[in-house]
Amino acid sequence: MEFKKNDILTIDIEDMGHDGEGIGKADGYTLFVKDTVIGDRAEVKIMKAKKNYGYARLLKVLRPSPDRTEPRCPIARACGGCQLQFLSYEKQLEFKKKKVLGNLQRIGGFADIQAERVLGMEDPWRYRNKAQFPVGRNKEGEIVTGFYAGRTHSIVPNRDCLLGVKVNEEILNRILAYMETCHAEPYDEKTGIGLVRHILLRYGFKTGEIMVCLIINGTRIPAQDSLVEALKDIPGMTSISLNVNTKRNNVILGEKVIPLWGKEYITDYIGSIQYQISPLSFYQVNPVQTEKLYGTALEYAGLTGKETVWDLYCGIGTISLFLAQKAKQVYGVEIVPPAIEDARRNAKLNGITNAEFFVGKAEEVLPEKYEKEGIYADVIVVDPPRKGCDEAVLDTMLKMKPEKIVYVSCDSATLARDLKVLCQEEYRLEKVAVCDMFPQGVHVETVCLLSNRKSKPDTHVDLTLDMEDYYRIKDQEGRLLQDKRSGETVK
């Protein structure tokens, strides 16, 4: 039977895809349906029909799955941020574990690998210490802020995201009131006209410190003292600033920060390590799970105080400083100069003297330090962006032959691709831990321990992949993805 756009069908959802969409079949024809879960019987409408598969919109749940939950958020279907809010949290963890292991098996060739642990949250709500809200006008001409609808840049109004901290709502109310009163015009992406593009909020979970940063299409705002007066009396308010972005692109933050009031940063802790966080800093958004993630990475590294450790893609030194507590020497590498400045400042802040940081591409700094200066590694920890490791980084790690490699990944497909290269001859995949850094969403963090094969007999599955094949893998999950909510690149 041939199916076409606007056909209405009844299907049973039998599986879920990588982006959290339900998968069902009608007479052998596969349909992907957002907002459905395994076990649902649903009435759906085909929105796009391909030859062998199509995409459909949920019209009605005829028989709910026993794993279906009523979403807490009233705009869960419209907003692009929470793809799994219809699924019980226990089943969300199962979905993410299956996603990681499926990629390791299918892309990496690791036939019998299991997850040693799955790290979930006791309370998977209001965990984000950072939120970025686009600003615009609705059809009635009112200034609104919220999040982008899935795969669009249409703002779904929302000032109280249930993943963010409660104080965000009060801050947004005051900022939008200031904009109305002082005629600070929201930015229009279509015309490139307007001033206020996004509102960036950060919150220190252990310190209670708050940062507000307005991303603007200019270098100043009208009546900036009025904005400061509106915000500074909120308990915990520590930093108010502007970020200048006059470019017409989807990148949220510009390079220049203009302080308006208070400090230029807030502070927070992961474990006993204190960090200073600026508007431009990369800092994990879920501090509760970050402590579990980094604790697992430290455990896998098995440091005794005698090791030289390299931390690649180190950001502001979050993992580096965690590792420095147990290592002889840590070297961190990051391409973003302000992040390295933060890392050095954070090391000094914590009295850590055995961590040194380099600015540059990991694929350039690591080979140079190894080949020209003879700096080796007992352990390498790598935490790359979503696109995974550069070929030169993998090649140099294989040449350096550290005893252990700890790979922290935010994309299990590129993780699997990279592990296939590393485990071709030199390394064995020993342990896998799945960490749910993003409850209600589809993204998941993974920590893997690789051990040099020289230490134990080789019992690993035979893998074959040459470096030319490496970049031919174009799996959907292996591409550099864009955050569907904000349009920024997700690390």
Show which residues are catalytic: 410
Helical pair 167-182 and 224-231, crossing angle rounded to 10 deg: 150
In sequence order, the 6+-apart residues with CB closer than 8 A to the CB of 223 are: 178, 182
Tokens of 449: 């321990």
Closest Cα to residue 207, out of 291, 284, 265, 123? 265
Phi, psi of 64 (to 5 degrees): -70, 145
**What DSSP state is assigned to residue 219?**
S
Interatomic CA distance for residues 442 and 18, integer angstroms: 7
**H-only helix segments in 331-378:** 337-349, 362-371
- In the chain the first and final C-alpha atoms are separated, in Å, by 43
Between CA 221 and CA 186 the distance in angstroms is 11
Tracing tokens 């485990």 back to the chain, one arrives at: 423
Query: Are 250 and 487 in contact, with CB atoms under 8 Å apart?
Result: yes
> Which DSSP category does 68 fall into?
B
CA angle 116, 433, 161 (to 5 degrees): 135
Task: Kindly tell me the sign of the dihedral angle through the C-alpha atoms of 227, 232, 236, 242.
Answer: positive
Those residues with Cβ within 8 angstroms of residue 299's Cβ, 6 or more apart along the chain or in another chain: none
CB 356 within 8 A of CB 314: no
Angle, CA 32 vertex, CA 26 and CA 38 arms, to 5°: 85
Rounded distance between C-alpha atoms, residue 89 and residue 420, angstroms: 31
Q: Tell me which DSSP letter residue 478 carries.
A: G
Give, for 428, the enclosing helix (H) or strand (E).
Answer: strand 427-435
